[in-house]
């Protein structure tokens, strides 16, 4: 009998009050979207902060479980066997799947959890009862209640019982889109995809904005950013990637402004363009991968001057992270190998030899007074292109 199910246990959303249904629906919508691409037909049953996914005989539960680990709002994903809520049925289910549950473990324990208090055995009594059966069938095993190799979990829920060997960690966070919409400044580097992932995890749906600089930047750099957008789309569902060209702005800055202030001047233009684009896509926040002190444009002075441009809040979730901490997340989400591909981006095309790490707003405004800021921004906005990426 195929009684295998997936149990998705919800995380922080269970703390929500009256608007709980709003968050739950978002999780369910994302789950359904992801299951569409998995072999088999699935039905969903929700109860007691847990979404139970039941597959038909063709269902690929392994792939389904893998996909469910990317759903924000889900704390753990558990492949379980569902059965009737009787001691005998639980016992039979454990027996049927015992080899798989035990694997090569030498010690084990059973952990009963009775949320339906009308069930005749208490949680410890159920653990003892089923533990006894396991020992009879596999006498070489030893019980270790403190640090067992394997814990067989026996959940007695309101409508059914479930047996499993423990869940895997889910993506956590809040359902995608539940906190609003943000625009991620997505370069080809390591930091910005991580920043996008972290904000998506807190419930922002994302559009991405990539600045290119043709002919100085090429197709390879764009392909790389596309690949990073695909990684993010895997978490967000869909992701619009916008591209705007900075070529004219960079050339004018090189020609007319103090080279030592080039990077900060450019970053202020990025913010102006990003804010315009954010308005066009109804995004209420900008997101960057900046990390304090990492490079000359990310000193507190430089960030202050850059931050003086946008009215929208700018989220910088990597601001307090060391590079190795950012790298660790980028490996986990699958962006690292893409990010380290060696293609130039617009920021590596013109790099001042001696950037000013302590720019003041006064100096910057003096430089900007030489420029037709609105004209440059308008013309850059005309280069806008976009594509939809599905995850």
Q: Which residues bind ligand ATP (CB under 6 A)?
A: 185-187, 189-192, 209-211, 288-290, 294-295, 297, 345-347
**Nearer to Mg ion by C-beta: 173 or 189?**
189
Binding segment toward Mg ion, per CB under 5 A, in 102-110, 187-195, 263-271, 382-390: 187-195
150-156 vs 238-245, strand pairing mode: unpaired
**Cβ contact 120:114 at 8 Å:** no
Task: Say how far apart CA 192 and CA 339 lie, in whole Å.
Answer: 10
Residue 130 near residue 112, CB atoms below 8 Å: yes
Number of residues lying near Mg ion (CB under 5 A): 2
- Distance in angstroms (rounded) separating the CA atoms of residues 59 and 36: 11
The CA-atom distances, in angstroms, between 44 and each of 19, 27, 98, 323 are 21, 12, 26, 41
Smallest gap, in angstroms, from Cβ of residue 187 to Mg ion? 4
- Nearer Cβ to ligand ATP (349/371): 349
Give one DSSP letter per residue of 46-95, joined into a string.
Answer: EETTEEEEEE-TT--HHHHHHHHTT-TTEEEEEEEEEE-SSHHHHHHHHH
Q: Give yes or no for residue 187 binding Mg ion (CB under 5 A).
A: yes
Q: Which is nearer to ligand ATP, 135 or 319 (CB)?
A: 319
Shortest Cβ 383–Mg ion spacing (Å): 20
Q: How far is the CB of 189 from ligand ATP (least distance, A)?
A: 2
Residue 286 belongs to what H/E stretch?
A: strand 286-287
Toward ligand ATP, which CB reaches closer, 111 or 290? 290
Nearer to ligand ATP, 190 or 338 (CB): 190
Contact with Mg ion (CB under 5 A) among 189, 196, 203, 359: 189
Question: Phi, psi (5° rounding) for residue 177?
Answer: 95, -10
CB of 158 to Mg ion, least distance (A): 51
> Which among ligand ATP, Mg ion, none contacts residue 383 (Cβ within 5 to 8 A by kind)?
none
Task: List interacting residues with Mg ion (CB under 5 A).
Answer: 187, 189
């Amino acid at each position: 009998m195929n009684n295998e199910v997936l149990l998705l246990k919800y995380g922080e959303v269970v703390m929500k009050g009256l608007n709980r249904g709003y968050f739950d629906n978002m999780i369910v919508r994302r789950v359904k979207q992801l299951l569409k691409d998995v072999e088999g037909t699935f039905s969903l049953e929700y109860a007691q902060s847990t979404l139970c996914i039941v597959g038909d005989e063709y269902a690929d539960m392994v792939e389904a479980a893998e996909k469910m680990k990317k759903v924000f709002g889900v704390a753990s994903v558990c492949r379980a066997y569902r059965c009737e809520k009787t001691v005998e049925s639980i016992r039979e289910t454990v027996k049927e799947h015992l080899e798989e549950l035990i694997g090569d473990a030498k010690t084990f324990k059973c952990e009963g959890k009775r949320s339906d208090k009308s069930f005749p055995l208490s949680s410890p009594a159920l653990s003892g009862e089923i533990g006894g059966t396991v020992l009879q069938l596999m006498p070489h095993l030893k019980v270790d209640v403190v640090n067992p190799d394997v814990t067989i979990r026996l959940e007695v829920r309101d409508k059914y019982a479930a047996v499993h060997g423990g869940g895997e960690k889910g993506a956590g966070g809040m359902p995608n889109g539940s906190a609003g919409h943000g625009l991620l400044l997505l370069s080809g580097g390591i930091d910005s995809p991580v920043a996008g992932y972290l904000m998506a995890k807190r419930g922002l749906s994302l559009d991405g904005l990539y600045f290119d600089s043709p002919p100085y930047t090429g197709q390879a750099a764009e392909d790389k950013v596309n690949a990073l957008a695909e990684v993010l789309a895997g978490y967000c569902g869909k992701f619009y990637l916008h591209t705007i060209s900075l070529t004219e702005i960079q050339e004018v800055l090189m020609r007319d402004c103090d080279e030592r202030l080039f990077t900060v001047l450019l970053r202020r233009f990025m913010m102006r363009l990003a804010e315009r684009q954010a308005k066009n896509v109804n995004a209420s926040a900008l997101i960057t991968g900046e990390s304090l002190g990492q490079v000359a444009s990310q000193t507190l002075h430089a960030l202050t001057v850059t931050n003086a441009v946008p009215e929208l809040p700018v989220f910088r979730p990597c601001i307090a992270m060391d590079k190795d901490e950012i790298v660790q997340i980028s490996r986990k989400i699958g962006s690292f190998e893409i990010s380290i591909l060696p293609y130039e981006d617009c920021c590596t095309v013109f790099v001042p030899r001696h950037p000013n790490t302590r720019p003041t707003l006064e100096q910057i405004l003096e430089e900007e007074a030489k420029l037709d800021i609105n004209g440059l921004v308008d013309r850059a906005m005309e280069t806008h292109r976009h594509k939809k990426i599905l995850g």
